[in-house]
Amino acid sequence: MTVEEWVRTFAEEVGAEAPSQDQIDEILRLAAVAAHSSERIAAPIACWIAGTTGRPLSELREVAERLANGG
């Protein structure tokens, strides 16, 4: 099963809408920033927090990048 298939199937099973490819790309960028500026386990936790805010992923990634740069 590909990543896209797994994510789509998981979303269907839990009653959620699967993310678009652009959203997946933003989620992965956010996860990368969190994982590389802290411990790796920060990545899934940051993505979960992001998912609860309702804010645009690009905005949340910018916040993460600012934190990663010491600001």
Average of pLDDT values for 13-27?
94
Domain count, the chain: 1
Tell me whether residue 27 is in a domain: yes
CA-based torsion, 47, 52, 53, 56: positive or negative: positive
Structural domain of 59: 20-68
Tell me whether residue 7 is in a domain: no
Tell me whether residue 6 is in a domain: no
- Amino acid at site 49: I
Tell me whether residue 47 is in a domain: yes
Q: What percent of the chain has pLDDT over 70?
A: 100
Tell me whether residue 4 is in a domain: no
Residue 71: its pLDDT value, please? 76
pLDDT at 56 exceeding the cut of 90: yes
- Rg of the chain in Å (alpha carbons): 13
Q: Considering the entire predicted model, what is its pTM?
A: 0.85
